Amino acid sequence: MTPTEATVAEDALLSVRDLRVSFPGKGRRAPRAEVLKGVSLDIRPGETLGLVGESGSGKTTIGRAVLGLVPVDSGTVTFAGERIDRAGRARRRELGRDLQVVFQDPYTSLNPSLTVGDTLAEPLLGHGMSAKQARDRVGDLLARVHLPADAAARLPREFSGGQRQRVAIARALALRPRLVICDEPVSALDLTTRRTVLDLFLEIQEETGVAYLFVTHDLSVVRFMSHRVAVIHHGNIVETGDARALTTEPRHDYTRALLLSAPVADVDRQRRRREAARRLVGPPAADERPAGG
Ligand SMILES: Nc1ncnc2c1ncn2[C@@H]1O[C@H](COP(=O)(O)OP(=O)(O)OP(=O)(O)O)[C@@H](O)[C@H]1O
């Protein structure tokens, strides 16, 4: 069954169907900007679906719509068998137990005035744990993300970007969610730190069976992380498939162009690949051009 069919896949943890989201246009009379134009995708329990596409294609908006952070014009979002696209505030809070998010920027996603211990305890206390239970769980979570126990007493500013992202991951995992939306979670990190944080995501998945919607524009990251990949272009999913097959035998021209745009070491080869990509789908959007290019 393809996700474009109207039916919700029975074995899916998350099913998105024909999702449309628009935002007010820029000028007073400008029409609304359609950002998602009928997006459908499925994520099964324990699975990672990579979501790739160029800047502005609508990746973050999909995640935000699933989390209820932007209103949807039409379409459905079904999580664990329940329609959640019109869920109210109280239900959304409860859903926070099963549905979590890790954002891109570990420098702005943590409250700078809360210690790491309080940051991790907050969702636990908010969902009915006693102070003692929360303290124990905070200790477990820090160990889980390979941070020392004394990290609990320190403030985010005392940590590096990679360590802060570990705290953000620990916070997302605190309530043992079934799905985590990971929105470019390693793109603000340097290359070595990136790898250790990606390994941590994989380790946690193996251990807990959590599913990820893994948003990125980096194809090497998506190949490393995902079971399946969905490619988004101008608010439409143009291709979905097994991660290896899609990145070696893409069916859609846009996916081919995306693969050709991935950086390679040789500058002449790079130039030829960019030309080939241009022939497939035209010039890149202004914000996709390398600085000075
Ligand atoms: N709250 C908003 N109000 C108005 N326009 C918005 C809003 N959120 C997103 N957009 C617009 O929607 C489009 C898609 O944005 P989105 O952040 O989903 O893209 P993206 O694929 O995640 O891009 P990037 O890789 O750069 O993060 C962009 O043109 C963006 O400017």
What's the pLDDT tens digit per position in 125-176? 998 999 999 999 999 999 999 999 999 999 999 999 899 999 999 999 999 9
What pLDDT shows up at residue 233? 94
Among 19, 21, 22, 23, residue to substitute to test ligand 1 (most atoms within 8 Å of Cβ): 23
CA nearest neighbour of 146 among 127, 125, 173, 123: 173
151-154 long-range contacts (CB < 8 A, ≥24 apart) are 151/116, 151/117, 152/115, 152/116, 152/117, 152/120, 153/115, 153/116, 153/117, 154/115, 154/116
**In this structure, how many other beta carbons lie within 10 angstroms of the beta carbon of residue 143?**
12
In ligand 1, the atom with minimum distance to the C-alpha of 62 is: 18
ipTM for the predicted complex = 0.96
pLDDT band at 29 (very low <50, low <70, confident <90, very high): confident
Query: Which has more pLDDT, 273 or 285?
Result: 273
d(CA 62, CA 99): 14
**pTM of the full predicted structure?**
0.87
Q: What is the CA(55)–ligand 1 centre distance, in A?
A: 8
3-state secondary structure of 174: coil
**Protein residues whose CB sits closer than 6 Å to any atom of ligand 1:** 23, 35, 53, 55-61, 217
pLDDT band at 178 (very low <50, low <70, confident <90, very high): very high
Domains and CATH numbers, the chain: 8-23+33-98+176-248 (3.40.50.300), 112-174 (no CATH), 252-283 (no CATH)
DSSP string, 220-280: HHHHHH-SEEEEEETTEEEEEEEHHHHHHS--SHHHHHHHHHS--S-HHHHHHHHHHHHHH
d(CA 67, CA 49): 16
d(CA 121, CA 135): 7
Please give the helix or strand (H or E) that residue 81 lies within, else none. Answer: none
What percent of the chain is modeled with pLDDT above 90? 65
Among 21, 32, 35, residue to substitute to test ligand 1 (most atoms within 8 Å of Cβ): 35
Region 220-225: what's the mean pLDDT? Answer: 90
d(CA 110, CA 172): 11
pLDDT at 39 over 90: yes
